[in-house]
Structure 1
């Protein structure tokens, strides 16, 4: 009788423990926290690092502000948190913070949203590049546009050479690696 009672009570106790503790376990998965109005890594924005840009889309403005607050975060292969990012992990993290789910892959991000012309690039658009070998015309790097349409394209991205930083397309190696602009917002 005691053996049967133990066989009945044991699964009930295990089920009760799962019900009690599973939500806490699931809430502790490895995901970066969403941004708040205060950023711990806020750096002053200077004219050299941030174009004087009047942003029209408040979501784009917030997204760019958060992305810029992450400047200086180190590059970590496959990283997707403020501890370190790769290029697509950075863009996925920033967009996710504003409720937009994009994959953690530059190739897959190149299929997100709408393709727009280079001249129409606006803050919050994804800018897609080849990998370091410009001859291989496949997506391999991604960043977020911070400049206005018609201006020289400036973007924030996580680079294996310097982590999260701002770069320009024109007059740099990124110009030959440029593939397309994707509008996700």
Structure 2
């Protein structure tokens, strides 16, 4: 019994330490992202059966009442540019992973982290400062209006 409790406590501690999905999500955005963490990668995928990167962002934003196209370059053409130091939860972050321009997109979730559909690991959360993403970071766009942000991504009291 004692070993089981210790294992459970360690598991919960690891979940919070690693910053993966939390059952205590503060916003609608957090809740939608948490629901699909671990969903497998599928090229062209737009459903919980499998996502590609832009399919993931399209799906989450649709749950929040916003329509996005299904292509990272087309999503980059939307919204307002945001500097990296001014990112807020719900901003889209873009990367050049192919060497040929915008080829990957994720959703900034705060604390230097973003959620995205990784080709190798499915829907995960990574840090923008990780060398791979830091070197390929292109920019960010704010898609949500301030009102939509407050309703969907702002912390609830």
Query: TM-score scaled by structure 1?
Result: 0.65
Greater relative contact order structure (CA < 8 Å, 6+ sep): 2
Is 2:136 aligned against 1:177?
A: yes
Aligned to 1:112: 78
Conserved in 2, the CA contact under 8 Å of 1:64 and 1:124?
Answer: no
- Deviation string 1:16-49 (CA, Å, 9 cap, x unpaired) is xxxxxxxxxxxxxxxxxxxxxxxxxxxx752312
Which of 46, 52, 76 in structure 1 is aligned with 2:16? 46
RMSD (CA atoms): 2.1
The structure whose residues are more often helix, as a share, is 2
Which of 79, 82, 104 in structure 2 is aligned with 1:141? 104
Q: Which runs of 4+ in 1 moved over 2 A?
A: 44-47, 49-52
Which of 36, 43, 58 in structure 2 is aligned with 1:92? 58
Higher Rg of the two aligned structures = 1
- Residue 132 of structure 1, CA deviation: 3.6
Please give the alpha-carbon distance, in whole angstroms, between the structure 2 residues aligned to 1:72 and 1:65.
14
- Residue 68 of structure 1, CA deviation: 1.9
Please give the alpha-carbon distance, in whole angstroms, between the structure 2 residues aligned to 1:140 and 1:161.
15
Please give the alpha-carbon distance, in whole angstroms, between the structure 1 residues aligned to 2:84 and 2:97.
19
Aligned to 1:161: 120
Residue aligned with 2:85, SS? helix
Query: TM-score scaled by structure 2?
Result: 0.76
Q: How many residues align?
A: 129
Please give the alpha-carbon distance, in whole angstroms, between the structure 1 residues aligned to 2:130 and 2:108.
16
- Unpaired runs of 5+ residues, structure 2, are 1-11, 145-157
Residue aligned with 2:103, SS? strand
User: In 2 relative to 1, CA 106–160 (structure 1 residues): closer, same or farther, beyond 3 Å?
Assistant: same
Please give the alpha-carbon distance, in whole angstroms, between the structure 2 residues aligned to 1:89 and 1:141.
11
Aligned to 2:43: 77
